[in-house]
Amino acid sequence: MFVINETHDSRLTSWVPSANDASCDFSIQNLPFAIFRRSNTDDAFRGGVAIGDQVVDLKLLAETNLLSELAQEAVIACSNSRLNDFMSMGESAWTALRLALSKALRTGSAGQVLMGTCLVPQANIEYSLPCQIGDYTDFYSSIHHATSVGALFRPDNPLLPNYKWVPIGYHGRASSIDVSGQVFHRPCGQTKALDEVEPCLQPCQRLDHELELGIFVGPGNALGKPIPMADAEGHVFGVCLFNDWSARDIQGWEYQPLGPFLAKNFASTVSPWIVTMEALTPYRAPFSHPSDDPQPLPYLSSVENTAQGNISIELEALLQTEKMRAAGEAPERISRSNFIHSYWTIAQMVTHHTVNGCNLRPGDLFGTGTQSGPLPEEAGSMLELSMGGKQTLTLQNGETRTFIEDGDAVVIRGWCKNDNAARVGFGEVVSTVLPARTLG
């Protein structure tokens, strides 16, 4: 795990004024990565780092030769249209570039003039996926979400016997993952009502968002070589916001016996900015399972994971209906939670994923699963907020929802903050639902 160093110092300020606002997501202590280009151009996409309301164009920065040695090698790798090469370089390169950027962006930096030529306003850019996602695995790491959903279907036994022993996950579809701003059509699929004899093909009636984080893999591992807990986080580049859309009625009919399929592969949305694991260091927290729960098996345990395996990341989901958008009304928050409630840590997900010899590759994505907290208002999906469609959510403008309707946009935001560290934010991920397309 990374340790606190000079780049985390909460007293640091930047010569980019907007980065010094206490409410800014992209402080000099953050420095997250994305792939971008200037809007309305045919420029090639390239790597960028957020600072305040600006982006450091890493392709331009590489051409200035302001950086040197490993930091220069790293910024050249970030000049590509995807970050996979940079992700594969590992901790030493990530740390070298972070430190070099931090020094160049600090108040009083000798590199201010050259660095200033590499800045682009975030208001004038568009994003692409940050990397080529070869494989995608979705975990089920929130015990509160698992219990709430399980109670809807199995009131007497919400959690299946394996939940407290093994980090549950399934292999998902990477091709339908897109970056924030994704607009997609309501999915169609087979559904079957309880009072019907046969299923039918129809548009999803229970479309749902999922309040999640995405975890991007850095260096991979050889096929057949598991990653032990001690090395797990060295294989993780960073974390983003993630909305793994779900068609609950399609899921209810198809998921047994083999799990999610069409209910999960029509759209998933990632935020453009990846916050590195190093930037998250000040927000680490102890990890443990309740004393009366089964304790993790030895391969899922380590001294470091117990001491600081958790990360406190505040999360919120907001909804903006088509009517709200037409009226110029801002999205309305419908829930708020924190990743600290996760039953399994990032390191445990990595280690369990590879314990059978599975090989990870740079740019692979893990979803954490819906991050619900213990309180009703901390539910990370409409399935929970509406109690399976039985309870109506009333918005401030009088509209009601049990599930997501056509024209709705879901916004997910996340940030870290404590008394000893500057705010580190994730920006937001937004996606909007269009009416279904029918066959024919």
Whether the ω angle into residue 167 lies within 30 degrees of 0, i.e. cis, is no
Burial bucket for residue 424 (CB in 10 Å: 0-12, 13-18, 19+): buried
Distance (Å, whole) CA 229 – CA 257: 31
pLDDT at 258: 87
The pLDDT value given to residue 1: 82
Q: Between β-strands 177-179 and 268-270, what pairing exists: parallel, antiparallel or unpaired?
A: parallel
Neighbours of 128 (CB within 10 A): 16
Nearest CA to 314 out of 295, 333, 332, 287 is that of 333
pLDDT of residue 440: 63
Residues of the chain with pLDDT under 70: 440
Distance CA 268, CA 176 (A): 6
Q: What angle, 0 to 180 degrees and rounded to 10, lies between the N-to-C axes of helices 69-77 and 91-105?
A: 100
Between CA 41 and CA 381 the distance in angstroms is 37
Could you tell me if 418 and 283 are in contact, meaning their C-beta atoms sit under 8 angstroms apart? yes
pLDDT tens-digit profile of 96-123?
Answer: 999 999 999 999 999 999 999 999 999 9
**What pLDDT score does 290 carry?**
96
Residues whose CB is less than 8 angstroms from the CB of residue 142 and which lie 6 or more positions away in sequence, other chains included: 341, 342, 343, 368, 369, 370, 371, 372, 380
What domains, with CATH codes, occur in the chain? 6-128 (2.30.30.230), 136-434 (3.90.850.10)
124-157 tens-digit pLDDT: 999 999 999 999 999 999 999 999 999 987 888 8
Q: Among all residues, which ones are annotated catalytic?
A: 145
- DSSP count for the chain of H helices, then E strands: 12, 26
In the numeric block, the tokens 């975890």 are attached to 215
- Taking every pair of Cα atoms in the chain, the longest distance, rounded to a whole number of angstroms, is 74
Judge whether 242 and 213 are in contact, CB under 8 Å: yes
Is 161 buried (19+), middle (13-18) or exposed (0-12) by CB count in 10 A?
A: exposed
